[in-house]
Amino acid sequence: MIVTMLAAWFVVASPPAMPDPPAPVASELLTIAERSGYRATSSHADVVAQLDAIAARYPIARRVRMGTTHEGRDIPVLVIADPPVGSAEEARLAASNGRPTVLLFGNIHAGECDAKEALGILARQLVEGDPIVRSLVVAIAPIYNADGNERVGPTAVHRPGQVGPEQGCGVRENAQGLDLNRDFIKVAAPETRALIDFMNRWDPLVIADGHTTNGSNHRYLMTYAGPKSPAGDESIIALSRERFMPEVARLFHERTGHHSFWYGNFEGAFGDADRGQTRWETFPAEARFGTTYIGLRGRLSVLTESYSYATYRDRVLGQLAFFRAILDTAVAQREDLIRITREADERAVRLGKAAADQVAIRSKAQARPGGATILGFVEEVRSGRSVSTGEPKDVRVELWDLFIPERTVRRPRAYAILRDPGGVIDALRAHGIAMRQTTAETTVDAETFLIRSAKPASRPFQGRIPIAIDADTSRGSVTLPAGTWIVSTAQPLGHLVVYLLEPGSEDGLATWNFFDPAIQGEPAADRPYPVVRLLSDPAE
């Protein structure tokens, strides 16, 4: 299968070769991918050394620390801006003067090392008088999963089917065995908490996350995705879908000759050959995924996916060109980015105060009108699997990457947490959600939850056993004791508040066992949920 794909890539899909970036005078500014002729990838020490060398040589670059990994490694960030920015406070001041922050990070799955190397090259390019850094504060974090990066092994073992690097790559998980791109709700990893803390403090308006895909056979060097959950602000999704990503894709093609498209796979791409090439499907809209989570925060997320079956060199340079197109688009659409994200924050506060709209807590995929044409290959079935023949084929498909509400709830004015059965308050703090405690006993008009079913998953996932809860509500007076935690929905993260605290949410805190101690026992039904919806804020 790999041989077939290589033939398809080099013989059939032969757009113009990606040009090598200009070599710097100082060799310490080169990435390991460049030094090795695209045979190896950088260690944590290599990345830190390169970023530190750039910061030492160029005054507009500042090296800061996002946080530390499970094993205590630094998560390095190079902040490039002119005039220079070296702290969250300075970044927010720059944003108030029209220079918002853009965060680009890579290596969340350390076997997918293309973005890590691309970001090292990009950092070097941006400090060489690039005008982008006069319009944006660019924060570059090439090696987010630093612990997984150090567990180097054969690429054929860690990333089956991926073409290079031939000297090996890291692993998908962090040192705790967690997939960091499934951790954005439960925040169980120190890396996740460090990244969200960076978002809370620095407030990047655009956050791009670099991956490498190993799914269906197609002719796209890069695929991409953006915010998608209908629980979030519609204007953020519309900006991504209608303006931002189309322009990024246009620039990428104009500059490289390579094609890109919305991230997805043919239906049944992972083994069910009988379904054929009729649908192009993406990943679910659950907020455990960083791209979805960032959108729920009211910010523009960008998932970048280079194509596993392309050469390692082309993938690195493809990521480089795509990241550059993201930055150029952010500059060109800067005023709209600032306005739309500000209005999204203001709207979340206003909707929380009104407490009248419906918020999606479960979603489902739906086909977009009109379908799409995918640049694919003729495939044949071998041993029950679809395998590319290498012959190009443009495939007309249904495009299943639109997500609509499956279940909604009326947004309350606030939630009251009657007791914290399992780290709920700590998790909300990690997400940056504003809370307060009552100082005296008070009686409020509220809706209480009575759990009707609590169905655990059939097997563990990411160190937990996710649970699906259904609950009924009833309205009445509830007495809140002094010290009760109140979580208002009238805050910029108000959409996320509802998504996290509703028991029936598809991917909230209840899903990840935070409320299990309150609902344990047999039967699980007819148990009160220790959170209530408040129809008015007791502070008002």
Quickly list DSSP for 412-448: PSEEEES--SSSHHHHHHHHT---EE-SS-EEEEEEE
Are 445 and 307 in a shared domain? no
Using the 3D structure, point to which of 327, 346, 364 is the last residue of a domain: 364
Kindly tell me if the per-residue pLDDT of 521 is higher than 70: no
pLDDT of residue 2: 39
Whether 425 and 308 map to the same domain: the answer is: no
Mean pLDDT (whole number) for 63-79:
98
| Model pLDDT, residue 526 | 74
Number of domains in the chain: 2
With a CB cutoff of 8 Å and minimum separation 6, the contacts of 346 are: none
pLDDT per position as a tens digit, 336-388: 999 999 999 999 999 999 999 999 999 999 999 999 999 999 988 888 777 88
**Owner of token pair 């809209």:** 285
174 within domain boundaries:
yes
Average pLDDT over residues 240-263: 98
- Asked whether residue 337 falls in the same domain as residue 445, the answer is no
| Residue 319 in domain | yes
Instruction: Write out the residue range of the structural domain in which residue 501 sits.
Output: 412-534
For residues 505-514, average pLDDT: 97
Are 227 and 236 contacting, i.e. CB atoms less than 8 angstroms apart? yes
304 and 167 co-located in one domain:
yes
Is residue 401 situated within a structural domain? no
Residue where one domain finishes, among candidates 306, 331, 364: 364
AA identity, residue 261: F
- Predicted confidence (pLDDT) at residue 9 exceeds the cutoff of 60: no
Find the CATH number of the domain harbouring 213. Answer: 3.40.630.10
More confident residue, 540 or 514: 514
Would you state the pLDDT for residue 267? 82
State mean pLDDT over 127-144. Answer: 97
- Compute the distance between CA of residue 159 and CA of residue 518 in angstroms, rounded to an integer: 41
* Residue 228 scores a pLDDT above 60: yes
pLDDT at 273 over 80: no
In the predicted structure, residue 299 carries a pLDDT above the cut 50: yes
Class of residue 482 by CB neighbours under 10 A (exposed 0-12, middle 13-18, buried 19+): exposed
Question: Has residue 312 got a pLDDT over 90?
Answer: yes
Among 25-34, 64-73, 524-533, name the one with the lowest average pLDDT. 524-533
Both 481 and 347 in a single domain?
A: no
Instruction: Say if residue 270's pLDDT is above 80.
Output: no
450-497 per-position pLDDT tens digit:
999 899 999 999 999 999 999 999 999 999 999 999 999 999 999 999
Domain co-membership, 460 together with 357 = no
With respect to residue 407, please indicate whether it lies within any of the assigned structural domains.
Answer: no
Percent of the chain with pLDDT over 70: 94
pLDDT digit string, tens, across residues 80-96: 999 999 999 999 999 99
**Mean model confidence pLDDT for the chain:** 93
Q: Which amino acid is at 105?
A: F
Is residue 371 a part of any domain in this protein?
A: no
pLDDT digits (tens, 9 = 90+) for 16-58: 778 888 877 688 999 999 999 999 999 999 999 999 999 999 9
| 508: in domain | yes
Instruction: Give the span between the Cα atoms of 10 and 165, in whole angstroms.
Output: 17
Whether 75 has a pLDDT exceeding 50, the answer reads yes
pLDDT at 3 over 50: no
3-state secondary structure of 81: coil
Residue 366, classified by CB atoms within 10 Å of its CB into exposed (0-12), middle (13-18) or buried (19+), is: middle
What pLDDT is recorded for position 255?
97
Residue 35 sits at φ, ψ, to 5 deg, of: -60, -35
Same domain for 484 and 359? no
Are residues 425 and 333 both part of a single domain? Answer: no
Residues 232 and 325: beta-carbon distance below 8 Å: no
- Within this chain, do residues 259 and 351 fall inside the same structural domain, yes or no? yes
467 lies in some domain = yes
Please measure the distance between the N-terminal and C-terminal CA atoms of the chain and give it in whole angstroms: 65
Residues 297-314: b if buried by 16+ CB within 10 A, e if exposed? bbbbbbbbbbbbbbbbbb
Q: How many CB atoms lie within 10 A of CB 430?
A: 17
Residue 416 has pLDDT above 90, yes or no: yes
Residue 130 in any domain: the answer is yes
Per-residue pLDDT band for 6 (boundaries 50, 70, 90) equals very low
Q: Residue 322: its pLDDT value, please?
A: 98
Q: Mean pLDDT across the stretch 387-413?
A: 95
Domain check: are 151 and 39 in the same one?
A: yes
Pair (424, 326) in one structural domain: no
If asked whether residues 350 and 466 sit together in one domain, one would say no
Distance (Å) of CA 86 to CA 29, 62, 77, 322: 20, 5, 10, 26
